[in-house]
Amino acid sequence: MKKDAIFEFFRRLAEENPSPETELVFSNEYQLLVAVVLSAQMTDSGVNKATGPLFAHVETPQQMLDLGEDSLRDYIRTINFHNTKAKNVIALSQKLVSDFGGQVPRALDDLMSLPGAGRKTANVVRNCAFNEEVFPVDTHVFRVGNRTGLAKGKTPDDVEAKLDKRVPQPFRLHAHHWLILHGRYVCKARLPECWRCPVVDLCAYKSKVLEPPASRSVGKGKRALKS
């Protein structure tokens, strides 16, 4: 995708959603960090159902330590891999208390030193909590980057590097949110809804689906799907 097309790509996404935000619910940097650690292989809505009751009682690393691992497991038992994630949340809370004065650090290396926090998690926190212009790459961003031709890469790191190089101002701060939401609700994994995509003419995807399933069925002489 060329420079002018990239600018137009984000201009249109920004026009539809001027102020995109993460769909995780939190009230401070620590709760955001915990929510992102819990979100691996989970939907944001699934995480929110578990963290709503938890965050009503826990706002700081010390409060999480006071809660304890057993009680934490009870709160997050609906989360995938909740036993491992509970261990990581307790361990990262301990490290925050002992090494960072109970505060969530801003630097990438510091965040990645926390148990359960990889590069994507660290960059989500840097972007959402500290307004850093970084590009966390989850499955949605990876798919959209490759499918559209915006940022092709074999690994998340490859896609992140290309996004960092190519995304222009004034779109850099919110770019990863636009890509996540676009991948979650329009450029879906199994059936991209190209018929309602605002950037379809800019996209390099060769197998565009330009009609909704009901219309396609009618066109083939099949009974239309009921709404």
- pLDDT tens digit sequence for 190-218: 999 999 999 999 999 999 988 888 755 44
Residues 227, 34: Cα–Cα separation, whole Å: 39
- Residue ranges, CATH 1.10.1670.10, the chain: 3-19+136-202
More confidently predicted of 227 and 17: 17
List of residues 6+ apart from 24 with CB closer than 8 A: 32, 35, 36, 39, 44, 47, 48, 51
**Cβ-based neighbour number of residue 102 at 10 Å:** 14
- Residue ranges, CATH 1.10.340.30, the chain: 29-130
Note the pLDDT tens digit of each residue in 30-85.
Answer: 999 999 999 988 999 999 999 999 999 999 999 999 999 999 999 999 999 999 99
Annotated catalytic residues are: 120, 138
pTM (whole model) above 0.75: yes
Residues 163, 179: Cα–Cα separation, whole Å: 11
The chain-wide mean pLDDT, for the chain, equals: 93
Question: Per-residue pLDDT averaged across 11-27, rounded?
Answer: 95
pLDDT at 214: 77
CATH class of 3-19+136-202: mainly alpha
**CB-based contacts of 96-104 (< 8 A; 24+ apart in sequence):** 96/30, 96/61, 97/61, 97/62, 97/65, 102/60, 102/61, 102/62, 103/29, 104/29, 104/30, 104/32, 104/33, 104/129
Q: Which two tokens stand for residue 146?
A: 């490759």
* Whether pLDDT at 227 is above 50: no
Residues 21, 124: Cα–Cα separation, whole Å: 11
Question: Per-residue pLDDT averaged across 156-165, rounded?
Answer: 97
Note the pLDDT tens digit of each residue in 73-124.
Answer: 999 999 999 999 999 999 999 999 999 999 999 999 999 999 999 999 999 9
Amino acid at 61: P
Superfamily of structural domain 29-130? Hypothetical protein; domain 2 (1.10.340.30)
Dihedral angle at the C-alpha atoms of 200, 217, 143, 8, nearest 10 degrees? 10
